[in-house]
Structure 1
């Protein structure tokens, strides 16, 4: 049951990043206005959108999950920070919730990796 909930969580999280990444890549007006309000160059919007789309796929692949989650965590730290710096407080909760979700994925992935490494070390010592 926990495994199924974990996969559902990952699929939903990846789906959110597909949507946000696609909005950036397609040049949605809302995204353009947001990046202009931050005085960020437009190309950064496309770069972040591509990173979000690739990382969304990476979340669904066990081998790349930690890397994808790490990349998304850094992107989300920037998003939360940008909204706070530019006093767009109403926009903070969405990336903040995604940030927490990504940190959870990152921690769980790191713990699983650590457990696998310990299992391999036990096998080598035996």
Structure 2
């Protein structure tokens, strides 16, 4: 069994254990960790489902920091901001950008070229171009 398959099995087992006990905060943390893991493996649809559960779980516990962190991950996975973070952050156009898009836009606004942005953020030039296209579509 590959390491990534074993990791996924462990996440699923942890979530099953959380169902047996009343620990909503820990449950939300596990959903967040699993969603982040899925997103980094380029499985955004599955990641969004886990991250939505994390946002709801943290929100129910009143854990604002956890809610914001899960929401940032959710946005990075391609979903629009939740009502909680949109109301906290305002309703301007910048709230529609993911954290990566925001970093890229700020760096470009300071006069950096795509190559310089890529080097500063340790990403490829193609990734910079991809995010810039999506920024301009927003």
Shorter-chain TM-score category? Answer: 0.3 to 0.5
Which is richer in helix? 1
| TM-score computed with the length of structure 2 as normaliser | 0.34
TM-score by length of 1: 0.36
